[in-house]
Structure 1
Amino acid sequence: MNQRLAHIAVLVDDYDEAIAFYTQKLNFALVEDTALSSSKRWVLVKPKGDEGCSILLAKGVNDLQKSRIGNQTGGRVFLFLYTDDFNRDYQNLIKNNVKIIGEPRHEKYGIVAVFEDLYGNRWDLIEPAK
């Protein structure tokens, strides 16, 4: 059997503001932005250089979905962004005024810091141990 994750949906309040955050502050690539209707778009972003899973920016449209924007995991870290240069990417977060929740720390598995996206979803920035 050959399976893989293709996309992970992240609920957003506004497509354009989410695209701007991911492409301008996290330096992700905009993979696709296709209008499906007058109110729905298929928007994919992913880290540059990553050929794997992408993030589907999914606009919350009903009360239940809107209530989950920024808190899809009950306050736990939601996504894990691996990097080959922690200091470069951490400094980029600071330069772009991305909210840092936890200062960098060394763990057995590597260097890690927790940050929030524009809606409050928590991410780990990780440079894995060699």
Structure 2
Amino acid sequence: MRPRIYVSSVFVDDQAKALAFYTEKLGFVVKNDIPIGAARWLTVVSPDAPDGVELLLEPNEHPAALAYQQALVEDGIPCTSFMVDDVAAAYAELVANGVRALGEPADMGTTTAITVDDTCGNLLQFVSMNE
């Protein structure tokens, strides 16, 4: 068996708000938007990899999901990380687009990273490899 990552979830407090943030602020594109009862199977992908890993913007309606999400934020822990070519440039672009960063890019040895607030109950990390 050689499994591959197909979908990864990020719990969000509002799917419409999350869709706007992840597409308008981060530049992802919609892969699936399928109504499922009161919620949607709502996934986004990188425009550079439309057939790549999908990020599911999943409602945090289950009490365990909400508690998990809140605990991570309270402890300052990002729920997921995204790779970029240049974190300093990503930081400048994100801040210019109104995204709240929790500090400036930080050198972490082999990587440089920033953490941002996705406005939907999560902290996200962006990293680039140091040469």
TM-score normalised to structure 1 length? 0.83
| Higher share of residues assigned strand | 1
Would you say the 8 A contact 1:27–1:48 is kept in 2? yes
**Structure 2 counterpart of 1:49:** 48
Q: Distance in 2 between matches of 1:46 and 1:87?
A: 22
CA distance in 2, matches of 1:55, 1:113: 20
One-letter code aligned to 1:48: P
The structure-2 alpha-carbon separation of the partners of 1:68 and 1:108, relative to structure 1 and needing over 3 Å to count, comes to closer
In structure 1, the residue matched to 2:5 is 5
Q: TM-score, normalised by structure 2?
A: 0.82
The match for 1:16 is 16
RMSD: 2.2
- The 1:35–1:86 alpha-carbon spacing in structure 2 relative to 1, beyond 3 Å, is same
Q: CA separation in 1, counterparts of 2:47 and 2:19? A: 14
Q: Deviation string for 1:24-81 (max 9, x for gaps)?
A: 01111111101122x1210001232135322111113344444444555763222111
| Secondary structure, aligned partner of 1:88 | helix
Answering whether residue 128 of structure 2 is matched by residue 108 of structure 1, we say no
Contact 2:72 2:78 in 1 (8 A): no
- How high is the sequence identity, in percent, across the aligned residues? 26
Does the 8 Å CA contact 2:10/2:79 hold for their aligned counterparts?
no
Aligned residue-pair number: 129
User: CA offset at residue 109 of structure 1?
Assistant: 1.3
Structure whose residues are more often helix by fraction: 2
Partners of 1:78 and 1:2 in 2: how far apart? 25
Match of residue 36 from structure 1: 36
